Amino acid sequence: MSDVTTPQPPANSDNEIDLGRLIGLLLDHKWWIAGVTVLFAALGVVFALLSTPVYQGDALVQVEQKASLNPLANLGDMLGQETESMTSAEVQILQSRMVLGQVVDRVGLDTVVEPNRLPIIGGFIQRYAIERPNFMQGNAAVWGNEHIQVGRLEVDDAYRSELFTLKVESEEGEYSLWWEDERIGAGQVGALSSFLNDGVKVSVVELTAAPGAEFTLTKLQNSGATRRLQGRLSVSEVGGTRSSSTGMLRLTLTGGDKQEIKRSLDAVTETFLTQNVERQSAQAEQSLAFLEEQSPELKAQLSEAENRLNEYRVEADSVDLNTESQAAIARYIELEERLNEVKFQEAELAQRFTPSHPSYQALLRQKSVIQNDLNDLNERVSQLPETQQEVVRRTRDVEVTQAIYVNVLNKTQELQMTRAGTVGNVRIIDSALVSSNAIAPKKSLIVVLATLLGGMLAVGVVLVMGLLRRGIETPEQIEQAGLPVYATVPRSDAQQKLVRKVKNKGDKRSHEITTAILAERDPADLSIEALRGLRTSLHFAMLEAKNNCLMITGSSPGIGKSFISVNLAAVCAQAGQRVLVIDADMRKGHIHHAFGGGSTNGLSDVLSGRSTWQTQVRGSNNVEGLSYMSRGIAPPNPSELLMGERFAQMLAEVEQQYDLVIVDTPPVLAVTDPVIVGHHCGTTLLLVRFELNTLQEIKLTTRRLENGGVVVKGAILNAMERKAVNSYGYGYYQYSYKTISE
């Protein structure tokens, strides 16, 4: 026998989230969740394997703080330039088009050679050197053991950024070049070949590929190749702070080709070093040019000053200078040298800053102080005797001009030596080194994230579907609608074997039909045991009914009304009762399939007056006491036939001949037939399908029947499954109690 225990949980509000139900949903779909999670994990593994690895190389350079090449002073301290600003400037120079443009030309980064790969897996094939299979001979895709090395690719400006396709013609190194799907010529490995009237020149150094393999050649604009290199290169200072700078710069370059990364990064550091030396040499050249320009003028001024002094001495009969005059001349020489140095510095600053710059203003203030000292000295000299004044002035001109001229000659020689031995202020500390392991993609991280994403997505879908699908899951939910539950019928796997799908003409979807009676095939099935319990409950429920007619109806199609009607009738007949099953669904009824009969000659024939019910009742071949009446030929007006007197008269007659009459009807929410049939039946039971019918449907169905004067006696919960969603959340249990042989 079957024993169903359903503990009563507290009723939950519709707005409350039942944590137990959510946990039950997850447990019910644990294998689906696990499957989706494993699928996403597998996709993560595939993605990680197919993704192109990205490698990273780095180099280290030092920018030393070095004195300015100004021949007269170290302007660095005077201008207040900090090492941090100098380092920032060097970072910008490293990333400038001036440096990277030279690197592009030096390494040939504007020449792009791409193999024609298979979609998705082409990169994987080449990385793991998978050889071309025999069935792929002649295919344009390049395989793992095939490569090309292009020595030169020169194109006119009109053909830059154009795509050229190089197709291997033979294993002897012959190839053809294609442009815009047209063959523009052929070439040979090791030779420089010209195409398009010398507008394109190609030299292939090495070509190892099967005939038919294709490579794409592109000559980029220098600016475009430079931007691509800029996007891959990053420069950062090592160990610097806000207040101080180390001058150590780390260069980092990423890409998919380790050899290209090393070549490019070494070229960046070497180009940066070279341009730094050239920049320092250019400063020396600039200062040297300025001094060489001033030297002839100073020499002429010195000669003129000496002549003027000699002439005056002759005129004044060799005037001697006293101690005060000699001190004044020495002071003149000192101030004039300082003033001349400041003028040179001003000339340097004028090329770099505007007069409003703070450094320029500081120099002007220094110049003003020296000029004031000169003015004071001139006033003291003016107090000397006139002869002494003139000798002091002319001697001053000679001595000052001579000192400045000698200083310029010395600085000129120093700058010439500096220019010849310029080394710059940049040192390459570490040359380029490329890591052996790829920095991206992070394969383990991708797999973990894909697994987590799959698990969360699967859990989310299950929870959302569970929250959106509010089908009946426990008898308690039906009782909330005010209906007692007479039986909970478990879902039967044996019954599913007796079901097959059919599709009639005009139907959009196929529907299931029962081909046999489960109570006769497998009387020990749990669902049949539950129907035996229903048989006992009905015995007492129908004692006060007006007749022995039982209507079984439901809210929607496909909930198992015919299964319940036929098998309930069978278990009642097996108990010794005379039972008649009437298929009142004259539209789509299929009870006749369970008995192995046809749909013709049934209820519609009786109600239309073409026959009597006695001639349309058929007996069951295997269950004694069980009879049935099929739906008959589908009429155009089923509801009108049921409303006629013939139906009521037929029921009045058959209830006298049978102990139990079970009437199977169409869905209440689809047609009005159940309301009409219910008027003539003493007992009405509402069938509810587990997880299919909702509480709102039950309430609406009950209300519609009651509005038509039909009182629903109770409900049957059909196709109940033992799931965690009801056993964990609501405490549903189903036990099997079978006879065993000793």
Higher pLDDT, 654 or 344: 654
Query: Does the pLDDT value for residue 13 go beyond 50?
Result: no
Are 735 and 2 within 8 A, CB to CB? yes
- Parts of the chain belonging to CATH 3.40.50.300: 475-499+520-736
For residue 192, what are the β-bridge partners? 203
Banded pLDDT at 388 (limits 50, 70, 90): low
Choose between 343 and 449: higher pLDDT: 449
Helix, strand, or coil (residue 235):
strand
Q: What is the mean pLDDT of residues 455-473?
A: 88
pLDDT at 349: 76
Give 16's pLDDT tier (boundaries 50, 70, 90). low
pLDDT in tens, 74-125: 434 443 444 556 678 889 999 999 999 999 999 999 999 999 999 999 999 9
Q: Residues 475-499+520-736: name the CATH superfamily.
A: P-loop containing nucleotide triphosphate hydrolases (3.40.50.300)
> What is the model's pLDDT at position 454?
96
Please, what is the Cα angle at 241 between 238 and 246, to 5 degrees? 45
Write the DSSP assignment of 284-345 as a string of letters.
Answer: HHHHHHHHHHHHHHHHHHHHHHHHHHHHHHHHTTSPPP-HHHHHHHHHHHHHHHHHHHHHHH
pLDDT at 703: 94
CB-based contacts of 726, cutoff 8 Å, min separation 6: 24, 473, 474, 732
Task: Note whether 265 and 59 are within 8 A (CB).
Answer: yes
pLDDT confidence tier of residue 5, bands split at 50, 70 and 90: very low
214 in Cβ contact with 146 (< 8 Å): no
> How far lies 232's CA from each of 56, 74, 279, 366, in Å?
10, 38, 26, 48
What proportion of the chain, given as a percentage, has pLDDT over 70? 81
Asked if pLDDT for residue 265 goes beyond 60, the answer is: yes
Identity at 255, one-letter amino acid code: G
**731: pLDDT strictly greater than 50:** no
Residue 466 makes CB contacts below 8 A (sequence gap 6+) with: 21, 22, 25, 725
Q: What is the mean pLDDT of residues 494-521?
A: 79
Q: Is the pLDDT of residue 70 over 50?
A: no
Answering whether pTM is above 0.75, one says no
For the stretch 281-297, pLDDT in tens is 766 666 666 666 777 77
Indicate the range of 101-115, 209-223, 290-304, 480-494 predicted with least confidence: 290-304
Tens of pLDDT along 172-184?
Answer: 999 999 999 999 9
pLDDT of res. 717: 95
Strands 55-63 vs 248-255: parallel, antiparallel or unpaired: antiparallel
Task: Say whether pLDDT at 452 is over 70.
Answer: yes
Does pLDDT of 593 surpass 80? yes
- Is a pLDDT exceeding 90 seen at residue 726? no
- Hey, which of 23-27, 259-263, 310-314, 322-326 has the most confident mean pLDDT? 259-263
Q: How confident is the model at residue 7 (pLDDT cuts 50, 70, 90)?
A: very low
Q: Residue 201: how many CA atoms within 13 Å on its side-chain side?
A: 9
**Pair type for strands 485-490 and 714-720:** parallel
Q: Assess whether pLDDT exceeds 70 at residue 383.
A: no
C-alpha pair distances (Å), 592 with each of 43, 454, 583, 625, 666: 51, 48, 8, 17, 15
pLDDT-derived band at 4 (thresholds 50, 70, 90) equals very low
Inform me whether the pLDDT recorded for 317 exceeds 70.
no
CA distances from 375 to 324, 407, 412, 472 (A): 17, 24, 31, 110
In the three-class reduction of DSSP (H, G, I as helix; E, B as strand; rest coil), residue 26 is classed as: helix
pLDDT of residue 735: 47
pLDDT at 367: 83
Share of the chain above pLDDT 90, in %: 55
CB 165 within 8 A of CB 118: no
Residue 628 has pLDDT above 70, yes or no: yes
Phi, psi of 705 (to 5 degrees): -65, -45
Tens-digit pLDDT profile for residues 17-33:
668 778 888 888 899 99
Q: What's the chain's average pLDDT?
A: 84
Torsion on CA atoms 119, 123, 126, 132, rounded to nearest 10: -10
Residues in the chain: 742
Instruction: Classify residue 130 by its DSSP letter.
Output: P
Report how many helices (DSSP H) and strands (DSSP E) the chain contains, helices first: 25, 24
pLDDT given for residue 365 in this prediction: 86
Most confident listed range (19-28, 406-415, 708-717): 708-717
